[in-house]
Structure 1
Amino acid sequence: MVMSVTVVLSVMGGLAFRRRFRGSTVLFYLIIASLIIPSILVSLGVGLIFNILDLEVHWATSGFGSQLTWTLPFGLLIMFAVFNRFDKSYEEAARDLGASPWQTVRHVVLPIIAPMLIGVALFGFTLSYDEFARTLLTAGSYNTLPLEIFGMTTNVTSPVLYALGTLTTVFSFAIIGTFLLVVVFLRRRRIKSGSGAGSGLV
């Protein structure tokens, strides 16, 4: 969940910050500030806010939001670097050929930045998976996997811990392999479309 939302919001934020808008500087520093504040204080603050507002502290609400305060700034910083080097002439060419703004984003921008999106997704997944402090006071009555593993290490070590380590490794390699296959597929598709356009010109 955190990985998916981080990718979507990072792309949207990167596209939004390509142009100056009112309050952009304040918003930028507000986002980056969550990297400076200690994780345990963020967890405590989110938990207190939910208690004051009489909302249920649950991993799907408070825990989810507290993890986004950690993964989203990194995703946005990556997208800022990507769009700072992005050649806008591709978008201008698409608009000259009659593409709508959505078609330009879908068929031009997203395929070009796809490898970087994979990096943001893997980064967000890794940061969320290993985040302990920000979910310590915001997970509610249900433990996330890092909290469960921490609880296992404080008691007698059981074979479940080693089984979780094996599943974690297999799952991580599966995620990386899936994204690599997506990159290969997008490259082959781009090569085929380029060769088709070249043959049409001939």
Structure 2
Amino acid sequence: MATASTTREEKRPGSFYALSAFFALFVVFLYGPVVTILILSFQGPSGGLTFPMNGVSLYWFERLWSGRGTVDIGSAFQRSLILGLTVMVLTVVISVLAGLAFRKKFFGSTALFYVAIASLIVPSIVVSLGIALEFRILDDILRPLLYQIGLLSRRGNSLGLFTSGLGAHLSWTLPFGLLIMFAVFNRLNKSYEEAARDLGASNWQSFRHVVLPMIAPFLIGIALFGFTLSWDEIARSSQTMGSTNTLPLELAALTTTVTTPEIYALGTSVTAVSFTVIFGTLAAFVLLQRRRQRRALAD
């Protein structure tokens, strides 16, 4: 009787299989294009943009990274990597500082909060155009004055990777970091900090030895958000990078001009960097957690 009852309980309804099939189709739809590009990027020298494959080789990767391709992959890769790392660091630091500041109410905090996250609901291309226009207006007003008094050696514009480009990317990554840190600090038990202060810890020591270890997993999440969102951002970069292009912009430009698997090799390289950063960061976090546990057991 018990066996029959267990069998009846374990029998799944037909809706389970229907939903499972739907989820499987969703996964195929989501990752199918990535897998297709990955496979086609390893074609031989005579390969095309569709199946069937013509040989298997690393020819298009070699052509891309040797500088013989249509795009200067090395320079674009370096620009995107440096910008992504800069955005990652600034997103983490500013988010933590903002989270600490918003732990106490102050005048205008609600309005400031909504202003900070407003860029999430504004179309990215509009944000890009607005930032570019803002810098052009500043150039029209400030650069002639600075040129006349000798603070600038030449005329030009301020649009660039670490001016308008950096601001555009931060307008995309910071709202996510702020929302995460606000939620974290809202749930953080202040009694731990109070206990540390009762034991003689300063504000910095309380943050360094009590608060920071508790929020460290969330900081890793914010760092990953910051880097990956900056690494593959196109819309907010389109009007703000000035005379230089990031790697995603180069990839977007190639879609209208390149008719070889070189574009697939570039797409595979971009995806590989994203996954390397994500899994590398997670692996480092796991190792640090295990190291901390070993130290705790040793003590």
TM-score, normalising length: structure 2: 0.62
**Structure 1 position 193, deviation (Å):** 4.4
Which letter maps to 2:193? E
1:130 corresponds to: 232
Does 1:151 pair with 2:253? yes
Does 1:85 pair with 2:160? no
> Does structure 2 conserve the Cα–Cα contact (< 8 Å) formed by 1:14 and 1:83?
yes
1:69 corresponds to: 171
Does 1:166 pair with 2:272? no
**Deviations 1:100-139 (Å, cap 9, x if unpaired)?**
1111111111111111111111112222222211111101
**Deviations 1:19-71 (Å, cap 9, x if unpaired)?**
11122112111112111221111111111111111142112110110111111
Does 1:14 pair with 2:116? no
1:175 corresponds to: 277
1:5 aligned residue (78, 86, 90):
90
2:138 corresponds to: 53
2:30 corresponds to: none
Identity %: 63
2:208 aligned residue (106, 129, 137):
106
Secondary structure of residue in 1 paired with 2:255: helix
> Does structure 2 conserve the Cα–Cα contact (< 8 Å) formed by 1:152 and 1:158?
no
Give the Cα–Cα distance (whole angstroms) in 2 for the partners of residues 2 and 158 of structure 1: 33
**Structure 1 position 144, deviation (Å):** 1.1
Give the Cα–Cα distance (whole angstroms) in 1 for the partners of residues 209 and 110 of structure 2: 30
Task: Assess, with a 3 A threshold, how the Cα gap between structure 1 residues 32 and 194 changes in structure 2: closer, same or farther.
Answer: same
Give the Cα–Cα distance (whole angstroms) in 1 for the partners of residues 205 and 189 of structure 2: 17
Task: Assess, with a 3 A threshold, how the Cα gap between structure 1 residues 52 and 122 changes in structure 2: closer, same or farther.
Answer: same
CA RMSD of aligned residues (A): 1.7
Give the Cα–Cα distance (whole angstroms) in 2 for the partners of residues 191 and 97 of structure 1: 24
Give the Cα–Cα distance (whole angstroms) in 2 for the partners of residues 131 and 51 of structure 1: 22
**Structure 1: gaps spanning 5 or more residues:** 198-202
Give the Cα–Cα distance (whole angstroms) in 2 for the partners of residues 66 and 36 of structure 1: 14
Query: Bigger radius of gyration, 1 or 2?
Result: 2
Task: Assess, with a 3 A threshold, how the Cα gap between structure 1 residues 169 and 131 changes in structure 2: closer, same or farther.
Answer: closer
Which letter maps to 2:229? L
TM-score, normalising length: structure 1: 0.89
Which letter maps to 1:86? L
Give the Cα–Cα distance (whole angstroms) in 1 for the partners of residues 113 and 226 of structure 2: 19
Give the Cα–Cα distance (whole angstroms) in 2 for the partners of residues 170 and 127 of structure 1: 15
Q: Which structure has greater helix proportion?
A: 1
Which letter maps to 1:110? L
Task: Assess, with a 3 A threshold, how the Cα gap between structure 1 residues 192 and 114 changes in structure 2: closer, same or farther.
Answer: same
Give the Cα–Cα distance (whole angstroms) in 1 for the partners of residues 291 and 187 of structure 2: 23
Task: Assess, with a 3 A threshold, how the Cα gap between structure 1 residues 144 and 170 changes in structure 2: closer, same or farther.
Answer: same
Which letter maps to 1:48? L
Which letter maps to 2:163? T
> Does structure 1 conserve the Cα–Cα contact (< 8 Å) formed by 2:220 and 2:281?
yes
2:118 corresponds to: 33
**Structure 1 position 194, deviation (Å):** 3.3
Give the Cα–Cα distance (whole angstroms) in 2 for the partners of residues 140 and 166 of structure 1: 26
**Structure 1 position 77, deviation (Å):** 0.4
Q: Which moved more, 1:63-72 or 1:158-167?
A: 158-167
> Does structure 1 conserve the Cα–Cα contact (< 8 Å) formed by 2:87 and 2:226?
yes
**Deviations 1:161-194 (Å, cap 9, x if unpaired)?**
2232232233223212332233223323432443
Secondary structure of residue in 2 paired with 1:59: coil
